[in-house]
Amino acid sequence: EPEVTQTPSHQVTQMGQEVILRCVPISNHLYFYWYRQILGQKVEFLVSFYNNEISEKSEIFDDQFSVERPDGSNFTLKIRSTKLEDSAMYFCASTPGQYNEQFFGPGTRLTVL
Amino acid sequence: AQTVTQSQPEMSVQEAETVTLSCTYDTSENNYYLFWYKQPPSRQMILVIRQEAYKQQNATENRFSVNFQKAAKSFSLKISDSQLGDTAMYFCAFRPEETSGSRLTFGEGTQLTVNP
């Protein structure tokens, strides 16, 4: 069964460094999402992406964040200058249509030291 | 803005018994969708069940069913004949009607442990 994959599973970085989290959505899906979950807190929406542009973003998704679909398969989240408070689990999700079920990946645990 | 609240951080149940997980939400919208997601130790979130607010009939999926009380803004999940594989974190989630975007708003989660 097709599934969303994410790499790496765990990323450790120093504060101020740039990180890129990668996701491979399910191949026929058109809408892509990033969510994050700080340890012990709720899963929070970051951004949605369709047709090579952001369709919706939360207040968390500030200028330090960017998303890109550099080719036909990958969907990336870049954090330009990481902060300690960016430490979290980051989940990618995809869906064939905007109002269909969102399929989630296994997540990338980001640790900022 | 919508909020979703799960007031039970942890619950446990004996195998084969029934357990109910609670969820309440707050919204000013009339049409929306509600979901229960399961997150096992592998961390991958899996949709368990969904409910459209305009439907009065409660959704069911095999051993999983919901009690949707729109006026009370309550959306509980009942798991019947609990199995060891049901051990997971369960998240309640809200999505607005189709014209208001497709982001999911999650509750805090309830850690369910099924004991043998």
Q: What is the pLDDT of residue B99?
A: 64
How many beta-carbon contacts under 8 Å exist across A and B? Answer: 53
Q: Each residue of A44-71: pLDDT tens digit? A: 999 999 989 999 999 999 999 999 998 8
Query: Which of A3, A61, A102, A103 best tests the B interface by mutation, with the highest count of B CBs <10 A?
Result: A102
8 Å CB contact between B105 and B16: no
Rounded to a whole number of angstroms, the distance between the first and last alpha carbons of chain B is 41
Residue of A98, A102, A103 with shortest CB distance to B104: A102
Q: Per-residue confidence at B42, pLDDT binned at 50, 70, 90?
A: confident
Share of chain A above pLDDT 90, in %: 82
Q: How many of the other CB atoms lie within 10 Å of CB of A82?
A: 21
B22-to-B25, B70, B111 alpha-carbon distances in Å: 10, 14, 12
Q: Percentage of chain A surpassing pLDDT 70?
A: 100
At which residue do the structure tokens 């979703």 appear? B4
Query: What proportion of chain B, given as a percentage, has pLDDT over 90?
Result: 79
Q: Is B47 near chain A, with CB under 8 Å?
A: yes
Q: Contact, A94 vs A101, CB < 8 A? A: no
Best to test chain A binding among B25, B43, B90 (most A CBs inside 10 Å): B43
Averaged over A73-87, what is the pLDDT? 96
Mean pLDDT of B108-115: 96
pLDDT at position B8, please?
95
A1 inside 8 A of chain B by CB:
no
What b/e string do you get for B41-56 counting C-beta neighbours within 10 Å, with b at 16 or more? eebbbeebbbbebeee
If pLDDT is split at 50, 70 and 90, which confidence band does B114 have?
very high
Residue in A with minimal Cα distance to B107:
A42
Cβ within 8 Å of A, B 64-93: 91, 93
DSSP count for chain B of H helices, then E strands: 0, 12
CA–CA dist B44, A63 (Å, integer): 28
Residues 6+ apart with CB under 8 A from B57: none
The CB density around residue B31, as the number of other CB atoms within 10 Å, is 13
What is the predicted pLDDT for the residue at B13?
97
Residue B100 at interface with chain A, using a CB cutoff of 8 Å: no
